[in-house]
Structure 1
């Protein structure tokens, strides 16, 4: 299992990819597989055997050279080892996978457009590309996808027994794509308090927060910068709902699973993978127009927290994700690649 060099597994704060891979590693271990995790830092809290390549590089998040160096070191270690399959979660790794003798499955965690699409179009066809949502897969035609496996999470075991009249919570990175300004407008129109809890570690995020969001703040909005994961979990547990007014085709959106697993419904705009995750009228509300959000913020107290928890447990459990990937691995190791793995897709209908 190869992960980027940015954060630990499991992540102490921000890190949706790392949260997913942590659940996958433990899910595969529970199925009896021996998992070796190639990452940065000094160790892991997962069930994998950890092999470190360097110090964590989160201060250089998104830069090409740290990930290139990490992948190069990892490839040398893989060549010296004895592995049945390599599962790569890095951006650059799939391009270098053709140099590996071991078969490679690569999960694409970002939106495959622009430069990322160019990278993926250059990936060797012997690398199995896996999408994390049908929406992500539809963003660009012509990529050799072999399966779609929805992300999943390990159950937290903590959920609310009844709807909460706490604040509306927005939890994301500070970016126009994530719509914190729309969250403020919707909560204010609904007459409800709002907590904005977001990642703000990069210059663009800090600039957007200072120039666009902070001038919109008032006594009805609480601002939290870079909250730890425990804080995020507590916020979601106490929240009236999670608001997800995104402006872009989000490939997945782990925070929606985190909210629903705590019994907290999601109020979102119909963008990206949102309708694959949220069942309208049951685990939240999904709308086309931001003007529809305020009424749903008022209406969420009529939704059953138990339905949210059960939806995540049955459709997005770590065991289900692990078994779906296990089928992809077996097919790729056996070299039976005559047809796309459509029947191996982890299909979740949220309609």
Structure 2
């Protein structure tokens, strides 16, 4: 299902530098697993399609239609700003900092910058952009901007056929709510597949693994990406998103709906915003989530995909960032002119 055509913001092509983190074990761009890497890739590709001159600083092994500048092996976070300034194209008009601690945006730069705050940190650079209104409220004190993450819906396979299993997909840590997803499966007797990297081994071993072993309806399938991720998402009866923390966005909710799969989520973080079109899918408790699983009162799969196509696409995300780039460039030029007067 194609997304509605959106008018592109008008103006001359810009020279833009996109900078992603080089933390230990950084994922190359595009990543089949890393959400931030995926979002940066989609934004970069769409900017290039629109005729902008884009340079992307990313981990070794990345690929992009932009001019790709790979970080050297062993480059530390505190060295990123220096490396970028030494290698960025002449005439760069704006730097978009996606690093998790605003490696560039917190420093004096030769051009304006925008800092997308992908993780819950309160120390960020000038012109912070949060990925939801809730994140802006909590981390920015209501100041700054917000732009929702977007995906390329054409890359997500749609299916109205469902195969009767519940799905949890995310990092295996306590705050993601994997234990609560298991509780829903236990209460309902439904089959549950758990997918994601184990980031808290002790928690997994002591609290998750034993419950999986006791229940033949629950299976851990490991970290997934690519075709395997698509298959899990599009055939799930429902994605469970029982997040326990103030999740800034939660990209997997959008990915699931793009595949025609409903999402039942606890009312935390950005959930009320991402699921604003389907308030009946928002849950106040695990007990209520279990009841909704049993009731199966889900929106039609095609309606879920259309909802994503109208609100959370890479084109819409790029429209907002492009307008923001131009506004910040214009504002800084005005300030510079006023200071000389």
SS of alignment partner, residue 72 of structure 1 = helix
In the TM superposition, 1:96-111 aligns within 5 A as 97-111=106-120
Using the TM superposition, give the Cα deviation of residue 228 of structure 1 relative to its aligned residue in structure 2, in angstroms.
2.6
Match of 2:187 in 1: 189
2:70 aligned to which of 26, 29, 52: 52
Aligned match of 2:19 = 2
Is 1:85 matched up with 2:82?
no
Q: Does 1:333 align with 2:332?
A: no
- Deviation of 1:110 after TM superposition, in Å, equals 0.9
- Where do residues 161-176 of structure 1 align in structure 2 (5 Å cutoff)? 161-176=159-174
Q: In structure 2, how many angstroms separate the alpha carbons of the residues matched to 1:54 and 1:264?
A: 40
2:36 corresponds to: 17
- How many angstroms does 1:142 deviate by? 4.2
| TM norm structure 2 | 0.85
SS of the residue 1:243 aligns to? strand
> What is the TM-score of this pair, normalised by structure 1?
0.83
Compute the displacement of 1:336 (Å).
5.7
Distance 1:280 1:42, change over 3 A: closer
* Residue 58 (structure 2) aligned to one of 34, 39, 44: 39
1:202-233 Cα offsets, whole Å, 9 max, x none, are 4xx11211111101112011102222333112
Alpha-carbon deviation of 1:189? 1.1
Q: 2:85 aligns with which of 75, 78, 81?
A: 75
RMSD: 2.2
SS of equivalent to 1:10: coil
SS in structure 2 of the partner of residue 242 of structure 1: strand
**Aligned 8 A contact 1:167 1:194 in 2:** yes
| Partner Cα distance (2:299, 2:105) in 1 | 47
Distance 1:302 1:128, change over 3 A: closer
In the aligned structure 1, how far is the partner of 2:162 from the partner of 2:276?
19
Aligned residues: 313
Residue ranges of structure 1 left out of the alignment (5+ in a row):
58-64, 339-351
Show the counterpart of 1:345: none
Q: 1:166, CA displacement in angstroms?
A: 2.8
Of 260, 275, 278 in structure 2, the residue corresponding to residue 278 of structure 1 is 275
Instruction: Give CA-to-partner distance per residue, 1:138-157, whole Å, 9 cap, x none.
Output: 11454741x21111101135
Runs of 4+ that moved beyond 6 A: none
> In the superposition, relative to structure 1, how do residues 230 and 325 fare at CA in structure 2: closer, same or farther (>3 Å)?
same
Cα distance in 1 for residues equivalent to 2:292 and 2:325: 42
TM-aligned CA deviation for residue 71 of structure 1? 3.3
